[in-house]
Amino acid sequence: MPSSGPITDQDVQLLAGTAATLQSDYLDPSEDPWAGSPFAWIRPRPSRQRGAIGERLVAGWCAAKDFDVVRSHSSDADRVINGHRIEVKFSTLWASGVYKFQQIRNQQYDYLFCLGVSPFDAHAWLLPKSTLLQHVIGHTGQHTGSTGQDTAWISFMATSPHAWMAPYGPRLADVARILNSLGRGPS
């Protein structure tokens, strides 16, 4: 009978250890660039779950950087970080080499935290709402074309984000610097 959970049988542990050492001989990174990635487990999760994982990754990273992080009291933002209402969008790198941050709405938040993970790297931007209104919301309709007003998205090759994004990322360290420079927000 198959078992689930941790392997307790010593012979099966030995076999699993051997399998782990053989894995690199048989996996071609060009076939699966996510092989061995600490983020690989996220990709097969359903879309809604990936979004929740992204929120928790951002909250955990911010807390580890000593930012004050609490859940937002409103569904218009995901977290309140140092008193600033933050909406979080998450993307794993698509096979085509793009990040797609989806379902961006004109809601009550101060900043949009875009976190993109590739197999062995991460990129991040902390985009002010005013910048989104200028470049995204009302400009890049997700479901109804460029005239769509309900939801928008930001899509770009990971190697070449939009020029207007440059002041707000692309490294996590850039986002930390921006959050520090903002000081304590009103929320």
> Where does the pLDDT of residue 125 fall: very low under 50, low under 70, confident under 90, or very high at 90 and above?
very high
pLDDT one-digit tens code per residue, 16-58: 878 877 777 776 767 788 888 899 999 999 999 999 999 999 9
Is the Cβ–Cβ distance between 118 and 36 less than 8 Å? no
Q: What is the residue whose two structure tokens read 């080499």?
A: 97
pLDDT one-digit tens code per residue, 147-183: 556 789 999 999 999 999 999 999 999 999 999 999 9
Given a cut of 80, whether residue 143 has pLDDT beyond it is no
Query: Which residues are bridge partners to 154 per DSSP?
Result: 101
The greatest distance separating any two alpha carbons of the chain, rounded to the nearest whole angstrom, comes to: 62
Within a domain: 14: no
Q: Which of 12-16, 98-102, 120-124, 145-149 has the lowest mean pLDDT?
A: 145-149
**Pick from 95, 130, 121, 113: nearest CA to 168:** 113
Residue 97's domain comprises 46-182
Is the Cβ–Cβ distance between 89 and 101 less than 8 Å? yes
Amino acid 154: pLDDT: 94
Domain count, the chain: 1
Helix H or strand E encompassing 181? helix 172-182
Amino acid 168: pLDDT: 98
Within a domain: 37: no
* Beta-strand relationship, 79-81 and 69-71: antiparallel
For residue 95, give Cα distances in angstroms to 35, 81, 92, 147. Answer: 13, 32, 9, 27
Within a domain: 23: no
The CATH number of whichever domain residue 51 belongs to comes to: 3.40.1350.10
